[in-house]
Amino acid sequence: EGSRQLSEFLRGQLEANHIQSRQLAELMVVADELFALCRSQADPDSRFMAECAVPTGEGLVILRLKGEMRGRHPLERTEGEAAEHAASFIQKTCDQVLFEHGSDLDTVMIVKRISEGNTAEKREISG
DSSP 15: H
Q: What percent of the chain has pLDDT over 90?
A: 65
Say how far apart CA 33 and CA 81 lie, in whole Å. Answer: 13
In this structure, what is the dihedral angle of CA atoms 64, 39, 44, 8, given to the nearest 10 degrees? 60
pLDDT, position 119: 41
Q: Is the dihedral of CA 30, 34, 36, 37 positive or negative?
A: positive
Say how far apart CA 87 and CA 34 lie, in whole Å. Answer: 8
Q: For the chain, give the mean pLDDT.
A: 88
Residue-wise pLDDT for 60-108, tens only, equals 999 999 999 999 999 998 889 999 999 999 999 999 999 999 888 999 9
| SS3 (DSSP) at 5 | helix
pLDDT at 120 over 90: no
**pTM (2 d.p.):** 0.85
- Cβ contacts of 92 within 8 Å, gap of 6 or more: none
Closest to 127 measured CA to CA, from 12, 66, 46, 69: 46
